[in-house]
Amino acid sequence: MTDTPPIVCTFALPPLLAVVLDRLNNRADVRQVIADLRAELVPARAELQTFNGIVTQPYRDRYLGNRYIAI
């Protein structure tokens, strides 16, 4: 009898998918885990929307500097 080594494979997952999969107990929890994560990330999403508004609008440099400090 020969010992065969275990098959090890590594692959990358998108960060949010990795968080969801890590928090799951079973498939039935997918909806609730995603809803909880979405609620948890509300502040980060708002901050990213503010940042997106800053970088996509033509503002003067002085105004941009003040906005970056606020973030």
Cα 43 to Cα 56: distance, rounded to the nearest angstrom: 20
Helix boundaries (H) for 1-71: 15-23, 30-40, 42-56, 61-70
Does the pTM surpass 0.75? The reply is: no
Name the phi and psi angles at 13, rounded to 5. -115, 150
Which amino acid type is present at position 46?
Answer: A
The two counts, helices (H) then strands (E), for the chain are: 4, 0
Query: How would residue 68 be classed by pLDDT, with cut points 50, 70 and 90?
Result: low
For 10-66, write each residue's pLDDT tens digit: 889 999 999 999 999 999 999 999 999 999 999 999 999 988 887 777 766 656 666
Q: Is the pLDDT of residue 69 over 90?
A: no
What's the pLDDT score for residue 20?
96
